[in-house]
Every structure is written in structure tokens, then in C-alpha cells.
Structure 1
Amino acid sequence: MIWLSWRQFRVQALAAAVALVLAAAYLVYLGGDIRDAHDAYRSECAGRAGCAETQARFRAAYESTLLFLAAGLGLVPAVLGTFWGAPLVARELEAGTHRMVWNQSVTRGRWLLVKLLVVGAAAMVVTGTAAALLTWAAAPFDEVVKNRFGTFEFGARHIVPVGYAALAFTFGTVAGLVLRRTLPAMAVTLAGFLVFQFLFPNFVRPGLMPPERTTLPMTAQAINQARSLGSIGGGAVVGGVRIPDAPDAWISDLGPLRTADGRNLDERRFNACLDSPPRAGATGTFGDTAVCLGKLRLHVAVAYHPADRYWAFQWAETAVYLALSGLLVAFGLWRVRRRVT
């Protein structure tokens, strides 16, 4: 049964191997380039109190590329689930070839389980290898930028992508088992897993552990260190702040700007500082706007996770994915024994 499953899967395995070799060649080249740039960055910053400009150049040189690669790696499990998982059983049920195997000595449960193990293990190996290569290539960049908890970055580093691959593949296989048609199963797998990849990091991941909480005063200096002011809807908010005592922490929730009495800052006062602040000749990212807002004695409430929780989150999230995969496998075994004829 293992030999038969492998024989049916050999074309997909060969295509994946070729794609992995090409990806490895590019990532090894990119990793070497990043390391050369990182060495230059360190030598330029040696003995200097601050080198924000050099860091900004190093970040700008690779940020878009690595973000694109992380997003691409996030699609790999969805693609494998769609093109490997969904047709795995649905194609045989559609063509009726499953009856030939069942008329031999192979039980239905063993037939499904061997297919899941052989092809599922290949999906996890392909995704895990790609993730390991990207993690290695991006290591110097991650060390400088310290954004390992970013939505795309976290899902494309270390062991989490392996869990994603297991879940996407089992989801696709079970969808094919239930729908019994290849194309509908592929469509459901792709759409369903993409929705899951959006919902889990944004709504489930922050709650895997209880966060720490603090209040940050929004002085002119703190505002100048933020990444953004305002929002598309025009709210009085600040984005991309950092905690002075824990600059590498993951901020999972950031409240609106509040005044000293605890009330939300009025949007008119916020917009007045944003659009026409009093001229003070201030420098920095937001200049006079930061000075204007700093005089209002503002603060924000922050929920965050310290940087040393990174591996705890990696293991916890991977465990969730593997547990969900196990439940899908159990459901599939029950389904094929009782409902599939």
C-alpha cells in the first residue's frame, strides 16, 4: 500500500523537489547577501552611540523581499492542501478506483491512513525545509529589525509552517472525502484555509497566552519613535509604538490615545495637531506634530507579550495545528468506514 501510494504520488513529488532545489539556491544566495550587508552594517556602527540611519538603510534593502517571501511561504501549505490533499481521495472516489483496492486485503481505514501518512509527510517535509531555509537566510535581518512576531514573519519561521502544512493537507483530504468531487474540494480547501490563515494570527494567536499590560506616556519623544499617526477612519490613534523596557516585545493590543483623565482624545484636537501644529521648529519623524501632541499629556494602554515567549508561542501554535490535524484524520477514518460506499 505504501508503494502504491508513492507510485501515484511520484510526479507531484518530483515537481516539489525541483521547486525546492530552485528555492534553496535562491535563498542561499539571498542569505549570503544579507550576511554581507549585515557585516557592513555592524562595522559601520561599531563604536557609535546610534546608527539609526544605517539601520534604516539595511532594513529598507531587504524588508520588502523578505516580507514577500514570508507571504509566499504562507501560501505553500494552502497550495499543497489544494493540489495534493483535495484530489488525494476525491479523485479515486470520483473515478471509482477505490473499489479495486477495497476488494483486496486492504481495509478502508488502512487505505486512507497510508495515503495521509505518505503524502502528508512529504507536504510537511517540503514546507519545513523551505521554512528552515528562509529562517536561515533572514536570521541577520531578524536580529536587527526584531519583528519576529509579525503576522507574516511568525508564520514563515521555524516550526509553525510544518503545522500549517499538516493542517492544510488533512483539511484538503477530508474535504475531498466528504465532497467526493475534486474541483469543489480544491475550491473549498483553498478558500477555507486562506480564511483560517487570516483569522488565526489576528484573533486566536494573541490569546494563546495571557498578555502583560502597561500604560505608556505619549511624550513628544515617544510619538517620534512610533511608526504612524491616525487611521483611515480618522481616529485619534498611534501605531507602531515600542515599550522602552521591552523593545522586542510583541504588542498584541494597543488602545487609543487618552488624556490624563482617562478619556479618549477628541479627534478635533488630534487633527489640529496633525494638520496645523504650532510652529516649534522641532525635528524627528513627526516634528511639530509630536511636540503639539506631547503637550496634551497623553497615554495609551498596551497589552504585550515579552520577546522570550517567542518559542512558547511557536510550540503552542504548532501543537494547535497538529491537534486539529489529528481530529480531521480521526473524522476521516470514521467517515470512510461508515459513510463511503
Structure 2
Amino acid sequence: MTSIPPTRTTTRGGTPAATPGAPGVRALIWFVVRQHRTTAWIALALFLALAGSLVWLHGAMGDFIDTHQLLAACDDVECAGPSGKVADFRSSYGDYLHYTGLLLEFLPALLAAFVAGPMVARELESGTYKVAWSQSVSPMRWFAAKLALPAVVVLAGVSVLAALYTWCWRVVGDREGGDVLLPGQPWHQSFNALGPAPVVLALAGVAIGALVGLLLKRTLRAMIVALLATGAVAAVTGALRQYLVTPVTTMSADMPGLLGNRTWWFERGMVGPSGGHIVEPDCGVGVSPAQCLVDRGASGWYVDSHPYTHLWPMQWVQAGGVTVLAVLLAAGALWWMRRTHS
């Protein structure tokens, strides 16, 4: 069993000397690091490998696109690149970018499961927390160290990965035709892998994991619940995303399309006789859009959308809301710890 090193002071002669009392914050953090040092080394190796590969990917994608002038051959519907180079780009670089984005999107749930299970619930389930508590460490300081260390690591590490991924994604996503060149990578589908979104969701995952592990005290059960809870937070933010910024409503006499121009077209329908919106009306088989307007007594079509310029305002609005949620969850975990173990 690992013991916590005592807090040390310095004598007049400069010689360090142990002092009685509770270990300091640095000693507690070092204790937590030593407990999970194998996981920490693995995580560091994966972080360096992923960060390095993203730096390489940025240069490789940009060179390939510019050399073969891929975006010049893309319109609002398809890319007619030279001699299969579009397919080569998608298979060589697009898939890698796509799966890296998925990793960033799933990372908050994985972090929540790790904090809930191995970091908190396993110690409470096995009783090893008593080692720390028996060495003049208060339960609150022990739990604060358990919560603070992954929060700091996540804030630093995920911020770097999210910045590098966004840097790579913008090679394609910032350009006209990029959403067609990589059809699975438009900004609204990659939202939770871009900018601050994965960072704040990862912090929320840490807070969820700490609270769930503290409440359930069973490793496997806590990991499963933390995974599901973090997934639920991501699902709710996705469902609310279209309301984060006021959408642009476009009216037209003809039925509008929903493709191209890096715009997120999320709702289409008719303007009814009373001015209300009829979302995607069922016109029946073989009925033209013009006839459908007449049958419904509608005055025209509308489409609600978010242009590409809404990406970053929506990112920061979501980041603010999720940050508040993370703070509330962390405060709830600390309150519960104080209430049950003070």
C-alpha cells in the first residue's frame, strides 16, 4: 500500500526536515500520480503520438489539396477531382481526420468512466482510501486532490488536442467546397470535436465521474453510469444546439434545397395560411411542391439555417453552458463528500 510522503520544511542550515501534520497539496497530488502512474505514462504516450500525427496531418492535407487543386473541382453537390484524387484524399486523410474527431467526441465519456471507476469508486469499494485518511489527510482534501488532478490534466491535454484538431479541420472546413470534399466533416457534424467543445465536455465528464463514483462506490457500476450520463449531456447539447444562436430564416416561392455552402440547413417547411410553420409537410406521392402549396393554402416555403459564421458564437455559448454545468457537478460532489464524511 502506498503511503503519503510527509510535508517537509527547511531548517536554518538548509536541511529538509519532516514536520508533523497533514500532507500538503503537492504531496497529495504526488500520491494520486503514483497510484495511477502506469495509466499516466500510457496516456502521455498516446497524447504525444496523437499530437504529432495531427501536426503531420495538417501539412499533408494542405499539400495534397493545393497540389491537385481539389477544391477548385468541388461545387455545392459533388467534387469532380482529377483522376480519382478526391477518392485518394478521402481514403488517405479524410478517414484519419474523421476518426480522430470521433476520438475527441468520445473522450469525455472515457474520462468520466476512468474518474468514476479507477480513481474514486475503486478506492471506496476496496477501502484503500483509509491509507490516506489514516495519515492525517482529511476526506475533503483527499477528494479535492482526486478531482483537481484530472481536471488540470484534462484542461491542458484536451485543449492542445482540440486546438490541433481544429487547426487540421480548418484546412478543409474553412474553404468553400470543403463540406463536399469531406462529406462527413461539415462543421455542424464535427461540432463537439472543434474549439472549446471537447474541452468543456471533458471537464464535465471529470465532474460527472467524480460525483458518480462518490455516490455509487462500485467500480463497474460507476463506470457504466458515468459513461451514460456523459453521453446524455452530449446528446442534450446536440439537441439544443440549433437554439444557441438565432437562426437565419429564408423565404422562397419554390421548395428550397438543403445542400452546400457550408450552411447547416436544419428545418424546412411551408408558411401556413395563419402564418404558422408546417415542418416538412406530407404532400403525398407524385404531388409537386407547387401543388402542395396550393393544397395546403400556404403562402410559400421557408428554411431555417445556421451559416458557417455561426460556428464560433455557437461554440462559445455551448462552452459557457457546459462549464456552468461542470462547476455545479463538481460543487455537488464536494458538498456530498463534506456531508457524508465530515
In the superposition, the TM-score normalised over structure 2's length comes to 0.74
Q: Deviations over 1:9-47 (max 9, x none)?
A: 32211111111222234323332221112213548839x
1:323 aligned to 2:306?
no
> What residue in structure 2 maps to residue 300 of structure 1?
301
Residue 135 of structure 2: which of 81, 104, 111 is its match? 104
Q: Which amino acid aligns with 2:153?
A: A
Q: Deviations over 1:291-334 (max 9, x none)?
A: x6578779532223343332222122112222111111111111
1:215 aligned to 2:251?
yes
User: Size of the alignment, in residue pairs?
Assistant: 294
> What residue in structure 2 maps to residue 250 of structure 1?
264
Contact 1:86 1:176 in 2 (8 A): yes
> What residue in structure 2 maps to residue 233 of structure 1?
none
Structure 2 CA distance, aligned partners of 1:265 and 1:317?
31
1:118 aligned to 2:118?
no
1:149 aligned to 2:187?
yes
Contact 1:27 1:134 in 2 (8 A): yes
Structure 2 CA distance, aligned partners of 1:101 and 1:332?
19
Q: Which amino acid aligns with 1:300?
A: W
SS in 2 for 1:267: coil
Contact 1:16 1:126 in 2 (8 A): no
Contact 1:213 1:303 in 2 (8 A): yes
Structure 2 CA distance, aligned partners of 1:79 and 1:172?
10
Quote the sequence identity (%).
28
> What residue in structure 2 maps to residue 237 of structure 1?
none
Q: Which amino acid aligns with 1:256?
A: G
Q: Cα RMSD (Å) of the superposition? A: 3.4
**1:8, distance to aligned residue in structure 2 (A):** 1.6
Q: Quick one: structure 1 residues 217 and 63, their matched pair in 2 at CA, closer, same or farther if it must change by over 3 Å? A: farther
| Most deviating of 327-336 and 115-124 | 115-124
Q: Which amino acid aligns with 2:269?
A: P
**1:165, distance to aligned residue in structure 2 (A):** 0.7
1:137 aligned to 2:137?
no
SS in 1 for 2:303: strand
> What residue in structure 1 maps to residue 241 of structure 2?
205
SS in 1 for 2:174: helix
Runs of 4+ in structure 1 off by over 6 angstroms are 258-264, 294-298
Q: What 5-or-longer segments of structure 2 have no aligned partner?
A: 1-27, 180-184
**1:89, distance to aligned residue in structure 2 (A):** 1.6
> What residue in structure 2 maps to residue 188 of structure 1?
225
> What residue in structure 1 maps to residue 17 of structure 2?
none
Q: Which amino acid aligns with 1:101?
A: A
Contact 2:113 2:209 in 1 (8 A): yes
**1:103, distance to aligned residue in structure 2 (A):** 3.4
**1:255, distance to aligned residue in structure 2 (A):** 2.5
Contact 1:259 1:265 in 2 (8 A): no
Residue 267 of structure 1: which of 283, 294, 309 is its match? 283
**1:175, distance to aligned residue in structure 2 (A):** 0.3
> What residue in structure 2 maps to residue 164 of structure 1?
201
Q: Quick one: structure 1 residues 178 and 37, their matched pair in 2 at CA, closer, same or farther if it must change by over 3 Å? A: same
> What residue in structure 1 maps to residue 114 of structure 2?
83
Q: Which amino acid aligns with 2:242?
A: P
Structure 2 CA distance, aligned partners of 1:43 and 1:338?
61
Structure 1 CA distance, aligned partners of 2:59 and 2:143?
43
Structure 2 CA distance, aligned partners of 1:42 and 1:340?
64
Q: Which amino acid aligns with 2:130?
A: R
Structure 1 CA distance, aligned partners of 2:125 and 2:38?
20
Q: Quick one: structure 1 residues 102 and 249, their matched pair in 2 at CA, closer, same or farther if it must change by over 3 Å? A: same
1:339 aligned to 2:328?
no
In the superposition, the TM-score normalised over structure 1's length comes to 0.74
Q: Deviations over 1:21-76 (max 9, x none)?
A: 22234323332221112213548839x9x995249964872555433332222111
Q: Which amino acid aligns with 2:318?
A: E
Contact 1:250 1:307 in 2 (8 A): yes
Contact 1:78 1:194 in 2 (8 A): yes
Structure 2 CA distance, aligned partners of 1:64 and 1:293?
37
Q: Quick one: structure 1 residues 41 and 257, their matched pair in 2 at CA, closer, same or farther if it must change by over 3 Å? A: farther
Contact 2:121 2:217 in 1 (8 A): yes
> What residue in structure 2 maps to residue 6 of structure 1?
33
**1:164, distance to aligned residue in structure 2 (A):** 1.0
**1:265, distance to aligned residue in structure 2 (A):** 5.4
